Amino acid sequence: MSVTLAPSPWPMPPRAPSAFGREVSLQGGPDGPRAMQWLLRRSGAIAPRQLGAVFASLCGVSLAIAAFFFWQGAPVVLAFTSAELGAVGLAMLVFARHAGDRETLTLVGRSLLVEQCVGSRVRRTDFAAEWATVEPAAGQGSLVEICGHGRRVRVGRFLRPEFRAAFAHELRRALRRARHGAPPENDSN
């Protein structure tokens, strides 16, 4: 009997980052109070400013072509170009408005502050580490739900579903350390 090992044609599942949070100093200096902070943000391939530059160049090229056809006696091309650029500009404004969406969780002492920024709305919820629980919202791969004192917040929108369980585990571990009065720890090993 012989055994042959061949590489699997199936891609390996991505490894979760070793640590999502990082230790920060709140006052900016080394002597300020220490905290653990998790910053979950939308991953964007292009910044709003770069997108604006691309849109400006698109406008320049499109309007040059439309002007050529306008001078050739086809004024309707300019009207359709204007409508097209207006629709693309509106879509880019919507994108730019949500490019800075993020969720920030800050654990200072025995207090967990959850700040969710979506568009121009900012929602802040404060939890006591002693009463906060961290559970999946619906099942495997779902958002992470933080509950305590009748308040409930779902976080993890900007994490890939396969990383949410590791994030929840890290957050639970940090809350457990805070309950026992241990200093924040970055699990980057």
Q: Where are the domains of the chain?
A: 48-98, 100-179
Whole-number Å distance between alpha carbons of 171 and 112: 10
Contact (CB, 8 A) for 87 and 93:
no
Residues facing 16 on adjacent strands? none
Q: Residue 42: which of 116, 94, 124, 98 has the closest Cα?
A: 98
Which pLDDT tens digit goes with each residue over 126-150? 999 888 989 887 776 689 999 988 8
Whole-number Å distance between alpha carbons of 55 and 38: 33
pLDDT above 70 covers what percent of the chain?
81
Which pLDDT tens digit goes with each residue over 1-25? 666 665 655 555 565 565 787 777 7
- Which residues does 126 contact at the CB level (< 8 Å), separation at least 6? 111, 112, 113, 114
CATH class of 100-179: mainly beta
